[in-house]
A and B are shown apart, each in its own frame.
Chain A
Amino acid sequence: MKYLLVIQGENCSAILERLFRVCRILGFTIQNLNAETTENEKSFHVTITVYGDSSISLLTKKLNKIYGVAQVVTFAQGGTSKPIARAV
């Protein structure tokens, strides 16, 4: 399944690495990413398109547990998209 995640929160150290780590551990591949900071770089706003078969509710819960993350909104985008092929 393919999902769009909209994540907002406090722009703290290594926040993107922390988000990616959770996606990786749960077996989601990242297909698209847009990240920006707002309010004098104090907050961040990230949209990530992920693909994976694991539980999206678990991914949402785990992302929400990361310190600094204030909100995670998830949109299902159907199951037709395939994961990005790994570079050889």
Chain B
Amino acid sequence: MLMNGAEFVVQSLKEQNVTHVFGYPGDAIKPLCLALKEAGIELLLCSHEQGAAMAAIGYARATGKTGVCIATTGATNLVTGLAEALFDAVPLIAITGQINSNLIDSDAFQEVDVLGLSLACTKYSFMIQNINQLGSVIDKAFLIANSGRPGSILIDIPTDVQLDKAFIPESTEVKKDEQEDFDPSKVEEAIALIENSNKPLLFVGAGVGISKAVPILRKFIEKTKIPSVCTLKGIGAISNDSEYFVGITGIHGSKAANLAIDLCDLLIVIGARFDERIMGKLDDFAPNAKIIHINYDAMDQNKISNIELAINSDIKSVIASLKSETKISLWQDQILQMKNDHAYNYDNFTDDIYIPRLLNNLSQKIPKNTILCSDLANSQMLTAQHMFVQKPENYVTSSALSSMGFGIPAAVGAQISRPDDMVLAILFDKSLLMNVQELATIKDQKLPIKIILIDDKGGKTTSIEDQNSSNDKITKTHINFVTLASAFGIKGETISKVSQITNAISRLLESKDPYLLHVSCFNNNKNMDHTITEKSS
């Protein structure tokens, strides 16, 4: 069938069941924008290319589908989003419009080596030089983005290729990667290690959600009653009701979870990397334990020496094969005792707002399927520590890259993907300012996103050295965030006292429109501390 390059790309996107594309338009990508419109694929215009990439990530994270975004040579602004998707293993396709192919490498207007830019921040990238190369590129891009450890793919298409017409051959079927089978003897070895262990501990990461292994993991935990901890990105994989679930681990994790890692004699790491923010000193990690590492990817296994057994295959099949019996009642009692001894303390005897308490209470009021979006620092850690998440798709955060400004555009993508679910964006002040323009997207698309803005005026995260000095903050200007939101047509209010919380939360949750709740706590920075909030301390 005779069609132009843009129409062919759009037809391929439709075959991949793409229904929404996020983007920022421009001349170099106009043919594709028009083709998307004609084909009935919804093009959601964001206010910045970075916002478009992050909205596509939010969309992908909240649904498990592949996110798609478009841009022109404004691809320079896509870079953070592409890196975010690569590091957090999110399937993302970015299609960029390049200048006409005959002008490439002539210092032409808006000419950027987009493929060159992409090398460090994508899993793979394509540069299309003529229409005949389009062939199965989209199918290939989706395959690479979703196979193994997912990631970002960039496809750079010159404008003339988008407009060229040709009889493009039907896409040849792209061969899927064969999943490598695991060695059954390794599973037997794992079973033996588990059954001989007195203090086994499950360490669950994002790979469990990515591999859609959550139900089978929960069954395994229910049957064996092995205590468990999770990483920041593993939140939601283990049920909050699980009796022996200790909490998140790492430098911002709970004391009980970190102690459990120190005390266990067998650590079963499932779908997690050995990240230094979780492990701390590599030599001291799980000092008394043998480690079983079950993950698709073997890359991090050189970091530590006490890996007893590595099974690098599909997580779901491996967990399904682990038929273990355990007799660990003493260890279970010890875990319950540790959980109790180091439980978070929500007592607050002042009228200043205590953020952990606010978030914990809020968590009990919102619908179970609420999607929580946060970006980094206080907002991310406090949300992870004090709010309940029912499944991995309900917690959208920037983890490995910790991109400031991720929360708002991610909430846009999440709300577009799941219009019937509540989306709660929990941000801190500096982070909102990084992508504040996306408030316009929220208003334009009429998205009822609820925003909680924790304002410590830059606080600990963005200050330099002396955290109590006001002289070293990034921005000294006092910003009236409620006025800022109202400039975008978004309602909001500021609270700073405990007595204001109940009514403000009601207004936030009942609002049919987007709403910003600005929680001012810069007069009491101690209430922002997300590292020590336990009873014992």
Question: Which of A's residues lie within 8 Å of B, judged by CB?
Answer: 12-14, 17-18, 21, 55, 57-58, 61-62, 65, 67
B155 → chain A, closest Cβ, in Å? 10
B298 touches A14 (CB 8 A): no
Question: Which of B's residues lie within 8 Å of A, judged by CB?
Answer: 115-116, 119-120, 123-127, 144, 298-299, 302
Chain A residues closer than 8 Å to B144, beta-carbon distance: 67
A66 → chain B, closest Cβ, in Å? 8
A58 touches B302 (CB 8 A): yes
> Looking at chain B's contact residues, is the secondary structure mostly helix, strand, loop, or mixed?
mixed
B157 → chain A, closest Cβ, in Å? 13
Chain B residues closer than 8 Å to A14, beta-carbon distance: 115-116, 119, 125, 127
Chain B residues closer than 8 Å to A13, beta-carbon distance: 115, 125-127
Chain A residues closer than 8 Å to B302, beta-carbon distance: 55, 57-58
Chain A residues closer than 8 Å to B126, beta-carbon distance: 13
B115 touches A61 (CB 8 A): no
A23 → chain B, closest Cβ, in Å? 13
Across the interface, B299 reaches (CB within 8 A) one of A12, A18, A65, A67, namely A65
Chain B residues closer than 8 Å to A58, beta-carbon distance: 302
Task: Give the complex CA separation of A18 and B115 in angstroms.
Answer: 11
Task: Give the complex CA separation of A33 and B127 in angstroms.
Answer: 25
Task: Give the complex CA separation of A21 and B125 in angstroms.
Answer: 14
A17 touches B298 (CB 8 A): no
B119 touches A21 (CB 8 A): yes
B104 → chain A, closest Cβ, in Å? 14
Q: Give 8 closest A-B pairs by Cβ, nearest first.
A: A67-B124, A13-B127, A67-B144, A58-B302, A13-B126, A21-B119, A14-B115, A17-B119
A64 → chain B, closest Cβ, in Å? 10
Chain A residues closer than 8 Å to B120, beta-carbon distance: 21
User: Whose C-beta in chain B lies nearest to the C-beta of A66?
Assistant: B124
Q: A13-B115, A13-B126, A67-B123 are in contact. List 7 more A-B contacts (CB 8 A).
A: A14-B115, A14-B119, A17-B116, A17-B119, A21-B120, A55-B302, A65-B299
B180 → chain A, closest Cβ, in Å? 13
A20 → chain B, closest Cβ, in Å? 10
Chain B residues closer than 8 Å to A17, beta-carbon distance: 116, 119
Chain B residues closer than 8 Å to A61, beta-carbon distance: 298-299
Chain A residues closer than 8 Å to B299, beta-carbon distance: 61-62, 65
Task: Give the complex CA separation of A59 and B302 in angstroms.
Answer: 11
Chain A residues closer than 8 Å to B115, beta-carbon distance: 13-14
Task: Give the complex CA separation of A18 and B116 in angstroms.
Answer: 10
A62 → chain B, closest Cβ, in Å? 8
